[in-house]
Each structure stands twice: as structure tokens, then as C-alpha cells.
Amino acid sequence: LGYRLGMCAILTLWVAWDCIWGYVRNGNSTIGGRTAFPVFRGCGGLLLLHWFWGASVYVWNRFRINYIFLFDLDPRTVDSPITIFNDVVDETLVFMFLMLLYYKSGAHDIPDLVPPGVYPFLLVVYVLACFIFPVRTKISMWNNIWNVINTPFSSPTFFTIYIADVFTSMVKVFQDIAWTVGFIASGDFLVDEDSPKMLKHKWAHSFWYKNVLIPIICLMPLWIRFGQCLRRYLDTGKRMPNLANALKYTMSQMVTLFGAFHPLYEFYSKKGPDYFQFF
């Protein structure tokens, strides 16, 4: 584990150095401005979530907090902290390696054996495999996610409420995942990045993507928590804090709806200096 952690650190420094040096040398945006960067950003968000879960499990074990009992988990399907860290280190190595290849390929520092978009595609395939295997532990994960999505038709548990709270902080990751699906399904990952077609991404500017899918992704975690609060009120009969929390998530949904159907940012950004963007 220590040897592979060292490899992760070296790859991270290598990617950071190449990006910074490329910007200083050429004056152009590096991997952050590349067309497939949202793919790496979304997968990187999932990777950080795995790191934080491993760190949480380590702390809970270290201080003898019985999280298995609190979350009502099956002890036979719960990985130890060392197992989680072994898995996440391997995932980080693959992530950094494919990001480095994508950067080098787009900068023409390595032979163009395949289109640069193939590397983010391979990353997506690897991430999907990680979400399926090993089946023994992933079935429990998907069952809990389904119980979260199934709200309010099932009584929320402490763990499903915990997952839903995490989802409310992952809206940007979910948006990047939606962008990744469009990027792969449209076949844009096979198009040369220097091609004018690569700069368009017509599907990303369509009505259904910008005005339907993205607002739904922003609303869904808040709607899930709203439904959980109402279901908790029906199950327990306690108005506080269930109805207060439901009101909180109702107001949060109103912010998202106003942002989707009344884009004040776009209106003010066309009028002059971007003071509205600052605030």
C-alpha cells in the first residue's frame, strides 16, 4: 500500500507539473480547458468520495464507533479500512495514468495511436467496472441507493438519510456524469479534438439538456431529502424537526427553479461588467 501511495503522489505531481508548465510555456489553458475535462472532473469527484469514505471508516474504527450498527449494514459485506484504501489507491493510479495520457496525447507529446478521447472513454469503462465488481459488496450499495431514490415510498433509515445528504453535495458531480453520458453516447470521444465539430457539442446546447436534464439533476437530491422529511413526519408524527427540514429543502428547490427559468446571470452579464457574477 505504501509503495502504491508513493506512485500516486508521483503521478499527481507529474500531472500538476505538466499542466502548470504547459500553461507557463504556451500561455494556453491546459487540461482544464480541454473538451473531455468534465469526464475526469466527474470521475475525480467519485474518486474523492471513495477516499473520504475510507477515511471515515478508518476514523470510526479507530475510535470504536459502531457505524455498522448505526447504518444497519451487513457485516459480511462491509470492507475494512485497509481494503478500501487498497481499492481507492488502485483507482487513483488508473485515474492519474489515464489523465496523463489524455493530456500528453492532446498536447501531441506522445504518438497519436488513438484519438485523445479514447482515454476518458477507458476511464468511464473502468469506473463502471468498479461500480459492479466485486458484486458481493456492490449489491448492498445499489440496494441502499435504490432505497434513497425510492423515497418517500419507503421509510428512510439513518443510512439512507446520510446518503441523501451526500447527494445534495454532489450536484456538480452528477452534472458532469450527465455530460459524460452525452459525450460518450454521441461518439464525440472519437472525434479529433482539433476538429471544429469537437468544439460544438450540439447535444450540450439542446433544450432537453440545458433546460430539462440539468434542472432535474439540481432538483433531484433536494426533492429526495424533502420526501424523506415528509415521510419521517408521517412515520413519527413529530413536526419538529421534520417539517422544518422539509421547508428548508422546499426553499432550496425554489432557488434552483428560479435559476433555471429566470437566468438573471445571463441577463446581467449581457448588460455590461460582470458585477452580478461577482456577487
pLDDT for residue 202: 85
CB of 212 within 8 A of CB of 65? no
Q: How far apart are CA 58 and CA 78, in angstroms?
A: 13
Q: How confident is the model at residue 196 (pLDDT cuts 50, 70, 90)?
A: low
Q: How far apart are CA 153 and CA 63, in angstroms?
A: 35
Q: For the segment 213-233, what is each residue's pLDDT rounded down to a tens digit? A: 998 999 999 999 999 999 999
pLDDT of 267 higher than 60? no
For 103-108, what is the mean pLDDT? 82
pLDDT of 269 higher than 80? no
Question: How far from the centroid of its chain's Cα atoms is residue 50's Cα?
Answer: 11
pLDDT for residue 78: 93
pLDDT of 24 higher than 90? no
Q: What is the DSSP letter of 213?
A: I
Q: How far apart are CA 105 and CA 146, in angstroms?
A: 39
Residue whose C-alpha is closest to residue 99's, from 38, 151, 158, 152: 38
- Return mean pLDDT, the chain: 87
**Largest alpha-carbon pair distance within the chain?**
66
For 171-176, what is the mean pLDDT? 95
pLDDT for residue 198: 61
pLDDT for residue 276: 42
pLDDT for residue 199: 61
pLDDT of 275 higher than 70? no
If you search the block for the grid coordinates 470521475, which residue do you land on? 43
pTM exceeds 0.75: yes
pLDDT above 90 covers a percentage of the chain that reads: 62
Q: For the segment 112-131, what is each residue's pLDDT rounded down to a tens digit? A: 888 899 999 999 999 999 99
pLDDT of 235 higher than 90? yes
